[in-house]
Amino acid sequence: MRYDLSDLRLVAAIADSGSLTRAAEQVHLAPSSASHRLTQLEAALGVPLFARHARGLTPTAAGESLLRHARQVFAQLEQMHADLAPYASGLTSQVTVFANTNAINCFLPEDLGDFLREHPRVRVSLEEQPSPAIIQAVAAGQVDIGVVASDVGLAGVETRPYRQDRLVLIVAPGHRLADKSELAFADVLGEPFVCLHAGSAIHTFMMNHAARLGSRLDVRIQVRSFSAVCRMVAAGVGIGMVPRSATPQECFLQGAVDGIKTIEITDSWAPRDLQLCVRSRAALGPAAAALFDHLANKGGAGLTAGA
C-alpha cells in the first residue's frame, strides 16, 4: 500500500472542515479531483473513511485511525524540516542528548550554554528521560550522549563522571519534621508530597521506590520545576524530595526561596552522582565528541567502560 501525502492532507482537511468542497479548496484541488482521490483511497484500503450525510462528512472509526497517523506524519515532516533548515544557514552538526531531571534542571543549562557559545554552528537536541531508558537508548546507538544517575546499571556503555549530587528532603521551617537532621524515605511516606509532574524522571523514581516499600506517595500537587517544588514546600503545601543542587542555597535559585529546611535521606540510593555515557567515545562525531569532552571536564575524571 502506497500512501500519497496529498491524499493524507485531503483526509485531514475533510475531517477539519466536514466538507469535501471546502477541503478541496484548502488543498488546492478541484472538487471532482478531491472526490476521486478520496474514492480511490477508500477503495485501496477497503473501508470507508467518512460517513456521508446531508450536513457533510464525518470520519468513520477507520477514518479517525488514519487521521491520527496522518497528523503524526505531518508533525514528523515539520520536525524534519525544522532539523534540516538550519543546515542551509551554516549549521554544521547536531548532537542528541538524553538526560535525567536532575541534570536538566541544575547542571546542563549553564554547561550547554558555555559549549554553544563556543560552538555557534552546533545544535543540541536535549530530551528528559529516566536513567534506565537513557542507558538503553545510548547502548542502542539512538542517542549520542546520555547523562544518568550513577546507581543505574551501566553495562555496554562507556562513562565518565559528570557531577556529584544527592537527593534530600525539604520541609517548611514550621513542619513537624523540621527538627530532624536525617530520615529514611519510608519514614515520610505518610506525608503529603509536592512532586514534579508525572512522567518526569524523578517522579517515576520516587513512585517506584515507594512501591518497593509496599506503599505509595501521597502527591498533593505536581509542578513543573524544582524551583516550584521549593516554593510550594516553603508555603507549607507539603514536603518535597529534590537534589541538593536544586535547593535555594546550592543552585540557580540562590536567594529566591527562603525558609526551606533540608533533611538528609539515609537510603542507599540518596547519592545521585551523575555520569556521562556514550556507546563509544571513539565513534562519536566531532561535535558530539567535543560536547562529551566539555561536559566530562566538569567531572574531571577519565573514561571507563561499562561492565
Residue 185: DSSP 8-state = G
Q: How far is CA 290 from CA 128, 147, 196, 276, in A?
A: 21, 15, 32, 13
Top-level class of domain 5-88: mainly alpha
Helix, strand, coil % in the chain, rounded to nearest 5: 45, 25, 35
Which helix H or strand E contains 86, and what residues bound it? Answer: helix 61-88
Assess whether pLDDT exceeds 60 at residue 304: no
Grid coordinates in use for 235?
508555603
Grid coordinates in use for 103?
541534570
Do 93-164+273-305 and 167-265 come out as alike in CATH topology? yes
Q: pLDDT by residue (tens digit) across 19-49?
A: 999 999 999 999 999 999 999 999 999 999 9
Task: Compute the mean pLDDT over every residue in the chain, rounded to the nearest whole number.
Answer: 89
Confidence of residue 257 (pLDDT cuts 50, 70, 90): very low
Which helix H or strand E contains 170, and what residues bound it? Answer: strand 167-171
Residue type, 74: F
Residue 247: DSSP 8-state = S
- Structurally, at CATH architecture level, domain 93-164+273-305 sits in 3-Layer(aba) Sandwich (3.40)
Assess whether pLDDT exceeds 70 at residue 217: yes
Top-level class of domain 167-265: alpha beta
Q: How far is CA 12 from CA 26, 78, 165, in A?
A: 10, 15, 49
Q: pLDDT by residue (tens digit) across 70-108?
A: 999 999 999 888 777 766 666 578 899 999 988 998 899
**Residue 256, pLDDT score:** 36
Domain layout of the chain by residue ranges: 5-88, 93-164+273-305, 167-265
**Residue 251, pLDDT score:** 37
